[in-house]
Amino acid sequence: MESGAYGASLAGGSFDLVSFVKQPQTIVRLLSWLSAIVVFATITAEGYINEQGGSDLKCMYNQNDSACSYAVGIGVIAFLACVAFLLLDAYLPQLSNAKDRKNIVMADLGFSGAWTFLWFVCFCLLANQWSKTEHADHIPGDAARAAIAFSFFSIASWAVLTYFSLQRFQQGVSDLASSYTDPAQDHGAGPYPPQGYQQSPFAQNQMPGGTDYTPPSY
């Protein structure tokens, strides 16, 4: 992970494409992006079939249209989110405001955690409906199994993204806490009065002429 506030330099920095692509978080996010494409593209292209003697398109997962719609919806949103967070990851090192970085990292953490759970639900739903499907020659079994497999891969990839986001958030909090010093507790200042201080050559009760001054009594 990068050092600095929430995974980037405190003073902001420039964008390096090569270093950015080599980051583990970028690699996992690209894999999540590809998995989402496979899931929603496969179901959109081959997931709806015509029953023999019928004219309506039915979902290949036990004719449960909700299963296909759910998988397509989760996949499309995950695809768009991966693109958005890739852009934010590239923009993050250029931000010098720690509060803006914190908001981005927290959004990434919350979304990644939620989509890890939603992909788990998607995998369970598709696997369950596929086990109840009466297999026939007109049902594209390879496409159905591919969507199920990449739904499972998405669980792992989004779980890793959640871990990376949590690690970046914790690192940002610890870095900001360690770099802050409370002025009231700063013991680095010297003693008061400072060393080398000399008292005024004039005594407290002495007039300019060298005569003593006596306060009047009332």
**193 prior amide bond cis, ω within 30:** yes
User: Hey, what are 199's tokens?
Assistant: 């008292």
205 domain-assigned: no
132 domain-assigned: yes
196 domain-assigned: no
What does the alpha-carbon distance between residue 28 and residue 25 come to, in Å, rounded to a whole number?
5
Helix orientation angle between 24-46 and 141-179, rounded to the nearest 10 degrees: 150
User: What percent of the chain clears pLDDT 90, i.e. is strictly above it?
Assistant: 50
Q: Are 151 and 123 in contact (CB under 8 A)?
A: yes
What does the alpha-carbon distance between residue 82 and residue 32 come to, in Å, rounded to a whole number?
7
pLDDT, one tens digit per residue, over 77-101 is 999 999 999 999 988 888 877 888 8
Residue that is written with structure tokens 């292209």 in the block:
45
pLDDT of amino acid 192: 52
DSSP letter (8 states) at residue 189: S
What does the alpha-carbon distance between residue 34 and residue 190 come to, in Å, rounded to a whole number?
60
pLDDT of amino acid 152: 97
pLDDT of amino acid 139: 84
What does the alpha-carbon distance between residue 43 and residue 59 come to, in Å, rounded to a whole number?
9
pLDDT of amino acid 13: 54
- Give me the count of residues in the chain: 218
169 domain-assigned: yes
User: Hey, what are 209's tokens?
Assistant: 């002429």
Phi-psi region of 2 (alpha: psi -120 to 50; beta: other; left: phi over 0): beta
Helix orientation angle between 24-46 and 65-91, rounded to the nearest 10 degrees: 150
- In 47-64, which residue ranges form alpha helices assigned H by DSSP? none
211 domain-assigned: no
Q: What is the chain's mean pLDDT, rounded? A: 81
170 domain-assigned: yes
181 domain-assigned: no
3-state helix, strand, coil in the chain (%, to 5): 65, 5, 35
pLDDT of amino acid 176: 52
Range in 13-22, 39-48, 115-124, 158-167 the model is least confident about: 13-22
What does the alpha-carbon distance between residue 124 and residue 20 come to, in Å, rounded to a whole number?
34
Which residue range(s) make up the domain with 20? 16-176
Domain count within the chain: 1
pLDDT, one tens digit per residue, over 146-185 is 999 999 999 999 999 999 999 988 886 665 555 544 444 4
What does the alpha-carbon distance between residue 19 and residue 23 come to, in Å, rounded to a whole number?
6
